[in-house]
């Protein structure tokens, strides 16, 4: 899970330079490859861990494609 967080952190850093098609390529090659590798190693007994990884990926994609929703969610979490 830490590897996925590192990869997503890198993408957050360069997100302003990415187009929609580039985000898709980077997610598939850079992030999903790590998650797929982890799934092969951990097997099905680590379902909760994979759900956490998927949640991180979902938050990143929401932040990229629908930033207003990300800001609303962040404000609700601060309350």
Average pLDDT over residues 52-66: 82
| Greater pLDDT, 70 or 37 | 37
User: Which of the two residues, 29 and 44, has the higher pLDDT score?
Assistant: 29
pLDDT digits (tens, 9 = 90+) for 1-37: 677 778 888 888 888 888 888 888 888 887 877 777 7
Alpha-helix runs per DSSP H in 16-66: 20-26, 32-42, 47-65
The pTM for the full model equals 0.60
Question: Which residue is it, tokens 């800001």?
Answer: 71
Residue whose tokens read 């850079």: 30
Domain spans, the chain? 2-78
- Mean pLDDT (the chain) is 76
Greater model confidence, 24 or 67:
24
């Amino acid at each position: 899970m830490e590897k996925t967080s590192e990869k997503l952190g890198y993408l957050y850093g360069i997100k302003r330079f990415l187009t929609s098609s580039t985000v898709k390529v980077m997610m598939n090659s850079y992030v999903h490859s790590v998650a797929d590798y982890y799934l092969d190693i951990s097997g099905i007994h680590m379902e909760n861990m994979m759900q956490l990884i998927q949640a991180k990926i979902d938050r990143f994609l929401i932040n990229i494609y629908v930033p207003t929703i990300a800001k609303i969610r962040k404000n609700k979490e601060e309350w």
